[in-house]
Chain A
């Protein structure tokens, strides 16, 4: 590409945050070239500076960030030397941005059409009627259902995937040269993600625009990007065309990102002797009058991990609430260690409460910021086992060592002084302090970076081997399921669709829903998205009443 001039060129860019005299580097001398018609993938963990770099391509910086060196040139113009007004004129018209959360990007008080066409009308000066007909055309192209009605709806009246497509339409409406996608599918379910990724890929190709795709998910970037750039703590680690990068990553750090996907629990050597820890029999539950669980039956044995998978709203977390007694089921019963447990937690005996411990999705809200780590872990020790004073401290230190943290350093700290992964480890220690027979993990790795998440999964696996507790692992990530589960339950709309040993469910799914869910999980193969869309399109042709109209 030596003969072509890049449409966007970032040279030696450094960005800092924090106080002037003690700056925290966010980006450290990063270069980036983007050519017309290609998509560049930016990947890295949280804090790697990938979003900052994405925004820098627009000449925009978050509050508190300042440029300490380098240039950003777009089509021969220096974006950093412009006045704010000049830059604003470019935003939305020449360079557009697709944000992570479509729900947060739309104003709930206005109709979608008004918001989608706003930039075109105000910035680009397109007449309202023209903007509206352009938007309609985009809605059709993006296979949004009933494109003529779609624009009249309010953001809360359409699904998350449709909203994300509307956001993409908004970005495309002014026919920009560059579009920056900042984790646009992270908040979506896998089956929805396929549609949205497909729409974005088509849009990028059809309009011949250049794109920057920011994500922490390697498999998603592999589908979208022509080239991939890996960032680590504000520095560039590696850059290569997607296929080369996937086939042979050069740097240690990149290899470690790749390896996360390779953990797999060996199939359980199935002697069915160990005793039942949890049996759920015919549970029906509802919030008010809305039924959320219908006739759910599962069981988990000692030393076994059951993964519950399904899309958001399928009732996974509600099932966890029934297990802990936070939600009383309308019918059915829960057996703990072979005996029936009271349906509400207030009625449960202390030993039943102790038996079931829970680890939450958000370690930030699962720990009380006002208590020290010693107090957090020490309380269940006092409460369940009557340990006080020196004994309590000693046991808390042992627990910290079990989760791989130095008690001398961490016992006195408060959660504010810990990273996300460390907080999640403390949550695990708090749960283990009770000496539970059942551990419920509700999406425990979804808020963490891949490498940190891998550490947590390995830790849980090791602890389970030593302590032989049963585990109920709720997740929407099927890669995680392969890594940790012995048995799998697939949930759809409050029902268990499929339940059985992992290899049976994942390798030979019986139900169409399970098959769709499994096939929707992105793979490392850059051809995966195109293949899967062709396959789904074939399914829709044969099935009756497709959701959207075919593209013109």
Chain B
């Protein structure tokens, strides 16, 4: 494994540990107002305080925990739906494939973020509404990849052999197609997870994601945005946290595809 990839793995593991252990590691709670607003960096508040006087370091940890958890749940749902339908329409073909593929085409024609904003303005911002909507938007992308990969595998002779043996659709999907598609699908999961993570942060930045007072990396950027005019780097810290995770995941996925893809 190259050094860069190894560094990325360490970063990802650190992020996951911090997210899991946030209540233990954080010096303050995520809602605690412990000092005046916009305190500079000092001994008790290592990274200063935000617009309401909450400890930024603690909120970064909790924000990571919230964003990461929601992104993971969303990515898993999107993945199950996308891969399930994609493989099914590739193997099944016929009208099922036509209906699903055209539906996905329509959904993909609408820009993801705008579509999500539209739907959220109908449902109102709640965590489950956000998870469902992002999962729906991302599932369309996963569907296309899963369908493409499966179409290639479905034309292989061993799948034809299974068909004329008389095997049913569930067997062909579970035993013949999916085991041969794991490498590209696993890589796609990594990438989709980063996109979802960014998506959640972007919605929160716009005020439609995770609602205050819960800490969230995207909304932390917005809350402290004014500081940038004073040459403070504090609003960039949550942004850097987001970037650190997404870039690391991307590099790891690239390495994985090169090794096993």
Contact = CB atoms under 8 A, between A and B. Distances in A.
A256 interface: no
Nearest to B181: A370
Interface stretch (A48-56, A162-170, A361-369, A539-547): A361-369
Given A368-B179, A369-B180, A370-B180, A353 B165 contact: yes
A430 B163 contact: no
B94 to A, nearest CB: 11
A358 B164 contact: yes
B214 interface: no
A434 interface: yes
Given A365-B156, A369-B180, A345 B161 contact: no
B213 interface: no
B157 A362 contact: yes
Contacts of A356: 164
Contacts of A434: 165
B166 interface: yes
Contacts of B167: 383
B180 A345 contact: no
Nearest to A383: B165
Interface in A352-386: 353, 356, 358, 360, 362, 365-371, 379-380, 383-384
Nearest to A363: B157
Contacts of A358: 161, 164
A350 B164 contact: no
A366 B157 CA distance: 5
B166 to A, nearest CB: 4
A358 B180 CA distance: 22
B160 interface: yes
A353 B164 CA distance: 7
A397 interface: no
Contacts of B157: 360, 362, 365-366
Given A365-B156, A383-B167, A430 B161 contact: yes
Contacts of B164: 324-326, 345, 353, 356, 358
B176 interface: yes
Interface in B123-175: 156-158, 160-161, 163-167, 175
Nearest to B167: A383
B163 A360 contact: no
Contact of B158 (A350, A353, A365): A365
Interface residues of B, number: 14
B155 to A, nearest CB: 9
Contacts of B165: 353, 379-380, 383-384, 434
A275 to B, nearest CB: 23
Contacts of B176: 368
Contacts of A384: 165
Contacts of B175: 368, 371
Contacts of A353: 164-166
Interface residue SS majority, chain B: helix
B156 to A, nearest CB: 5
A503 to B, nearest CB: 33
Contacts of A371: 175, 179
B153 to A, nearest CB: 9
Interface in A128-146: none
Contacts of A379: 165
Nearest to B180: A370
A325 B161 CA distance: 12
A434 B158 CA distance: 15
Given A367-B158, A368-B158, A345 B163 contact: yes
B190 to A, nearest CB: 21
Interface in A87-106: none
Contacts of B163: 326, 345
A366 B158 contact: yes
A356 B163 CA distance: 13
Contact of B179 (A370, A383, A430): A370
A365 B161 CA distance: 10
Contacts of A362: 157
A358 B159 CA distance: 12
Interface centre among B157, B167, B180 (most CB of A within 10 A): B157
B161 A360 contact: yes
A442 to B, nearest CB: 9
A368 B161 CA distance: 10
Nearest to A380: B165
Interface centre among B165, B166, B167 (most CB of A within 10 A): B165
A348 B176 CA distance: 22
A383 B171 CA distance: 11
Given A358-B161, A365-B158, A350 B180 contact: no
A350 B160 CA distance: 16
Contacts of A368: 158, 175-176, 179-180
B166 A350 contact: yes
A374 B161 CA distance: 16
A239 to B, nearest CB: 40
Interface in A369-409: 369-371, 379-380, 383-384
Contacts of B160: 326
A327 B160 CA distance: 12
A324 B176 CA distance: 20
A104 to B, nearest CB: 19
Nearest to A434: B165
A320 to B, nearest CB: 11
Contacts of A383: 165-167
A4 B164 CA distance: 63
Nearest to B178: A370
Q: 4 smallest A-B Cβ distances: which pairs?
A: A370-B179, A366-B157, A360-B157, A353-B166
9 contacts: A345-B164, A353-B165, A365-B156, A365-B158, A368-B176, A368-B180, A370-B180, A371-B175, A434-B165
Interface of B: 156-158, 160-161, 163-167, 175-176, 179-180
Interface of A: 324-326, 345, 348, 350, 353, 356, 358, 360, 362, 365-371, 379-380, 383-384, 430, 434
Given A326-B163, A365-B156, 5 more contacts: A358-B161, A358-B164, A366-B158, A368-B176, A369-B180
